């Protein structure tokens, strides 16, 4: 049960990694995925082995206008705001600024340096958001299981499944720009939920996943309809020829 829960909680992590990795050259994407998910597993295991510190994060640090603020609330707030900014920025790039930018350089050395710099920048962003997702995941695990060995096994199994699923999900999102925008909108919802959670406004993730599943179902119908139109158009052109 804990492994299944860890996989479900890792869905938003996979989407975030897939969208960021899609900006890299194809040769670097697999490495970036592995490093990103490796950071995710390291973050979860590190937090599991410092359970006393993690549970201490739920203690009140200070009070603002009658609202108790803990270390966990601060992490969720900063992570939620970062996710809101990043997802909104990616939506803008995808929808409005896709064609902007100067002419690409033809210098292979410069391209290699730029690609490496971009990869480590993306890995850094993945590492930041991994900490936020890991904190939520570990606190959930502590509430379900008492034995550290069970938690570690569940985390390793879940990350293994995520590593297998990350490439097909990333390739599918990359082939369908409308699905990418939908996934970014989902990350905006997750960022909003994290920010609300920081102020003790609980938004069950089941509602978020249900909304995303419905939207994906509608988009799947749209993709099928587009494919059928393209096939019909190709058939008409063949007959005309």
Helices and strands (H, E) in the chain, number of each type: 9, 2
List beta partners, residue 63: 68
pLDDT surpassing 60 at residue 123: yes
Dist CA 27 CA 29 (whole Å): 6
pLDDT digits (tens, 9 = 90+) for 20-64: 887 788 778 888 888 888 887 887 788 777 766 666 666 777 777
> pLDDT band for position 241 (50/70/90)?
low
User: Is the Cβ–Cβ distance between 76 and 135 less than 8 Å?
Assistant: yes
Dist CA 137 CA 70 (whole Å): 17
Which residue, 139, 142, 126, is CA-closest to 17? 126
> pLDDT band for position 101 (50/70/90)?
very low
């Amino acid at each position: 049960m804990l492994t299944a829960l860890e996989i479900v909680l890792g869905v938003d992590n996979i989407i975030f990694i897939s969208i960021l990795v899609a900006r890299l050259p194809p040769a670097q994407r697999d490495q970036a995925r592995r490093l990103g998910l490796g950071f995710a597993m390291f973050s979860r295991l590190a937090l599991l082995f410092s359970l006393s510190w993690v549970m201490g994060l739920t203690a009140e640090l200070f009070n603002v206008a009658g609202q108790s603020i803990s270390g966990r609330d601060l992490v969720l707030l900063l992570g939620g705001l970062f996710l809101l900014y990043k997802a909104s920025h990616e939506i803008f790039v995808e929808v409005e600024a896709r064609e902007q930018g100067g002419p690409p350089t033809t210098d292979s050395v410069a391209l290699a340096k730029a690609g490496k710099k971009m990869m480590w920048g993306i890995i850094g962003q993945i590492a930041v958001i991994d900490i936020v997702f890991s904190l939520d995941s570990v606190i959930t695990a502590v509430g379900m299981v008492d034995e550290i060995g069970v938690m570690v096994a569940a985390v390793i199994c879940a990350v293994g499944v995520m590593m297998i699923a990350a490439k097909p999900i990333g390739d599918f999102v990359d082939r369908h720009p409308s699905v990418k925008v939908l996934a970014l909108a989902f990350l905006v919802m997750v960022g909003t939920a994290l920010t609300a959670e920081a102020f003790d406004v609980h938004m069950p993730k089941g509602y978020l996943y249900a909304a995303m599943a419905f939207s994906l179902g509608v988009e799947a119908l749209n993709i099928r309809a587009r494919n059928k139109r393209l096939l019909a158009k190709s058939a008409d052109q063949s007959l005309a020829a």
